[in-house]
Structure 1
């Protein structure tokens, strides 16, 4: 839809524009950013958010975290609400000094007590964060703007966890005022204030003119819920939307949109490598029949035409993943590229023969999420497996049912993925491959393995950066030796925007946009 003068006036909270006020209406329209999203936001505040992409992005624009990743490289952390911090030599004690004079949108003070309240509230109420924030032993307020966080054991990744949307700082007064309804009345310190939410329709945010990092150049952000991809594309082309996100291609392939919009006047297509991993994984703690033989699992990894998947099915919208970490992770071992399986039908057939598996003998049910993305990938892999004598039946399943099957271990092979919410190898390795967490979530369900577990925990808790990196090199090689999966691809983060939208910098982990520095020409 295009906005008329009265609609613009209503959206900006100003009087109706007079007849003929074309320049004024254009100026007003240029202060509104309209973002098209594919689904209703969920988890609009840190305590309720479980990594839902749209709600998480709204959080990062309404709230602030203690620290955040520094654009444009997002390779190091900077202070947000924290003015400075120190970490003890043993990596267990984090001491923060907060910025003075920062206020929540309800005009109450953001102080050390509010930070303590927020972090403890998320730890105690948000199951998504319980595994990591459960390592917090104590949070002590040592002054009005000073606090100390002590961990039960060293965790170098802890600062990265504090940059997640779930670690954002909330107004204690607003939580007390709204109770459970705080999720639809979120109050933070961020560059935008929450204005309204209409289920399955839109979320509206207004600029915070008193923001401590400077007022945003936009007056308003409107998130419009438009489930149909073709409708979003038409709205973008016609000027009804300024920006369309793909939400990391969770369900649908964006190749048609990329082809349609790339090179179109007035539209820009942004493609950024991500740290998302998609894989074909085995039920490693419940392997049955021929899959218990590592040669059979290795044969499956050689049966997959990786280049055909990337270039044909995915249309160049993804990058190859060679092992347990994406190649743009700081802990990725470059040698993994040579160790990764290559498409080799003859090798796959030979390995199956060595394992005593005859053509047609191995029959599998291949589970996947619903949506055209997963359907296309599953069908492609089904054909790859058929070429080496393995019969796979594709079972596309709604997420709640697939999650239940996966956590209970009632599957043989499944297409799955991990989307990291902080920039650290721990986001992939620990929850994915630590055997004690095998049945706690959608993990690789690794069998008991004391040696590998000890190595993973050493890597997680080693304070020295270079030593930690070398430990992750060892972890990657040991995991690959066990062949728990065929790692497939990493979705590029794709954003379509009008060319007059400026200042947008896309982060890869988490794949969420901040709009404080965005403006329109």
Structure 2
């Protein structure tokens, strides 16, 4: 249930609602209207679970200690912190904080607010349990300094602190509103939450006292428009200023993009994402054809990667060469040479070497539901048929799909991972560490002490360059094992009116900040 409907059902009073009469007072020159497919699920860090609409609003109403720096998002910059240091053992993170910053309710931001916010999220938000449980202690050194101690070294913790769930809340507002804080969120961010109406909109207004300077926009209106074709029409007619893809396969059908490209009133912003969609093998199976690496190589060589990108996605997705996308700071350039090439003849030869007759294989190809996943599954099915392998498509609802994958009841399955923090750990550890094989939708890697030790060493090494080299090694080792066929990475695409300026797309998490945006 959407946030506002859930709060109303629970008897929680909502803030003033915005209706059509209010919208008529908007100054079109300084009001940005953003089309979103649904209501936000949560507008505060303590309950946010990486749902796109609510997560983006959080990053515009609240601030985090640190953030990834635009436009490349490969370097961390200070936000509520001015500087930070990490102990030699990688367990202690000390942050110097900005002086003079105030929350939107006028109360001061300080180290006590940081301690309160992070401990609150740790206690209330199960989504971040795996990472926030590493927090052993948060100490207020002084009003302008805070020290966070972890139980184990975890360099990716800086990336975790840049997520919406790590945003800093007003302790005074939490005390004032209690369980109603989700309907009255108060942060230090460039925009102040004003109102919301279920299935209609969420309204933010500029924070004139924002510590980085007042935003150029006076208001943001998130309009809820579930239908993709309606979002497109509203964009073309000027009813909305921005339509987002928000990390999904497509928010506007691929065939519509060509039409929008010819519209001089609309511009299309594209950016590589760190989302990976792949054909996974059940690497934990000790018998059957998939257990033979030559069969896995054959299947990987049977797929027409370029044909998939052009035929199904019409250029709205990019090739993935290995376990990380090519825009990850830890991507090993050698992956482009090590990645399988489309070669049906080589695939047939590999099957023969493995002693496997293609006609003897009758595989179930599991897939998520939806027309685009269906199109991908059909494309892969046809590629496998070209080398004599029969694959029957089984599109499955997510709960059942997750159950069969974690139970290992499959040979091949279409899957993917969308990282919400900018670190290779988001793909590598969860996807390939053998001890986590049965805990989620993973590559179900078999026990392999050497590989596991390498993954954990890369995860826990503090020095950036040393860590990067270790992830190079991890990628090369994984490619030897052929855990899957890496298919594509959907681009992050934002459609905007031509007069919208200053908008930059972040790749992980795929959320927009509007502090720098203006309309010319």
TM-score (norm 1): 0.92
Q: Which residue of 1 aligns with 2:491?
A: 492
Q: Which residue of 2 aligns with 1:66?
A: 65
8 Å Cα contact 1:45/1:59 also seen in 2 = yes
Distance 1:88 1:359, change over 3 A: closer
Alignment of 1:476 with 2:475, yes or no, is yes
Tell me by how many angstroms 1:288 deviates: 5.0
Q: Secondary structure at the match of 2:472?
A: helix
Tell me by how many angstroms 1:403 deviates: 2.5
Matched residues in 1 for 2:283 and 2:199: separation?
39
Q: Which residue of 2 aligns with 1:411?
A: 410
Tell me by how many angstroms 1:290 deviates: 1.2
Q: Secondary structure at the match of 2:485?
A: strand
Alignment of 1:49 with 2:61, yes or no, is no
Matched residues in 2 for 1:288 and 1:199: separation?
52
Alignment of 1:459 with 2:458, yes or no, is yes
Q: Which residue of 2 aligns with 1:339?
A: 338
Q: Which residue of 1 aligns with 2:440?
A: 441
Tell me by how many angstroms 1:252 deviates: 5.7
Q: Which residue of 1 aligns with 2:328?
A: 329
Q: Which residue of 2 aligns with 1:236?
A: 235
Q: Which residue of 2 aligns with 1:10?
A: 22
Distance 1:199 1:287, change over 3 A: farther
Q: Which residue of 1 aligns with 2:115?
A: 116
Tell me by how many angstroms 1:232 deviates: 0.6
Alignment of 1:398 with 2:391, yes or no, is no
Matched residues in 2 for 1:252 and 1:300: separation?
30
Tell me by how many angstroms 1:46 deviates: 1.3
Distance 1:118 1:288, change over 3 A: farther
Q: Which residue of 1 aligns with 2:246?
A: 247
Q: Which residue of 1 aligns with 2:5?
A: none
Q: How is 1:37-436 mapped onto 2 (pairs within 5 angstroms)?
A: 37-250=36-249, 254-286=253-285, 288-436=287-435
> Residue by residue, what CA displacement relative to the aligned partner does 1:410-435 show, whole Å, maximum 9, x if unpaired?
33222111112222211211111111
8 Å Cα contact 2:228/2:252 also seen in 1 = no
Matched residues in 1 for 2:440 and 2:125: separation?
15
Matched residues in 2 for 1:398 and 1:89: separation?
46
Tell me by how many angstroms 1:287 deviates: 5.7
8 Å Cα contact 2:19/2:197 also seen in 1 = no
Q: Secondary structure at the match of 1:247?
A: coil
Could you tell which deviates more after superposition, 194-203 or 316-325? Answer: 194-203
Distance 1:277 1:253, change over 3 A: farther
> Residue by residue, what CA displacement relative to the aligned partner does 1:245-270 show, whole Å, maximum 9, x if unpaired?
01223466741221110131111011
8 Å Cα contact 2:282/2:290 also seen in 1 = no
8 Å Cα contact 2:229/2:252 also seen in 1 = no
Q: Which residue of 1 aligns with 2:10?
A: none
* Structure 2: tracts of 5 or more residues without a match: 1-17
Distance 1:419 1:92, change over 3 A: same
8 Å Cα contact 2:429/2:459 also seen in 1 = yes
Tell me by how many angstroms 1:199 deviates: 2.9
Matched residues in 2 for 1:251 and 1:311: separation?
14
Q: Secondary structure at the match of 2:442?
A: coil
8 Å Cα contact 1:252/1:371 also seen in 2 = no
Tell me by how many angstroms 1:452 deviates: 0.8
Matched residues in 2 for 1:466 and 1:106: separation?
42
Distance 1:88 1:198, change over 3 A: same
Matched residues in 2 for 1:364 and 1:234: separation?
42
Q: Secondary structure at the match of 2:466?
A: helix
Matched residues in 1 for 2:207 and 2:252: separation?
36
Matched residues in 1 for 2:200 and 2:451: separation?
47
8 Å Cα contact 2:192/2:207 also seen in 1 = yes
Matched residues in 1 for 2:321 and 2:146: separation?
42
Matched residues in 1 for 2:179 and 2:347: separation?
55
> Residue by residue, what CA displacement relative to the aligned partner does 1:299-350 show, whole Å, maximum 9, x if unpaired?
1101100010011111111111110011111211111111111111111112
Tell me by how many angstroms 1:8 deviates: 7.9
Matched residues in 1 for 2:341 and 2:452: separation?
28
Matched residues in 1 for 2:194 and 2:242: separation?
20
* Structure 1: tracts of 5 or more residues without a match: 1-5, 15-24
Tell me by how many angstroms 1:503 deviates: 0.9
Matched residues in 2 for 1:34 and 1:130: separation?
34
Could you tell which deviates more after superposition, 233-242 or 381-390? Answer: 381-390
Tell me by how many angstroms 1:117 deviates: 1.4
> Residue by residue, what CA displacement relative to the aligned partner does 1:329-382 show, whole Å, maximum 9, x if unpaired?
121111111111111111111222222322322122222222222111111001
8 Å Cα contact 2:235/2:241 also seen in 1 = yes
Query: How many aligned positions are there?
Result: 503
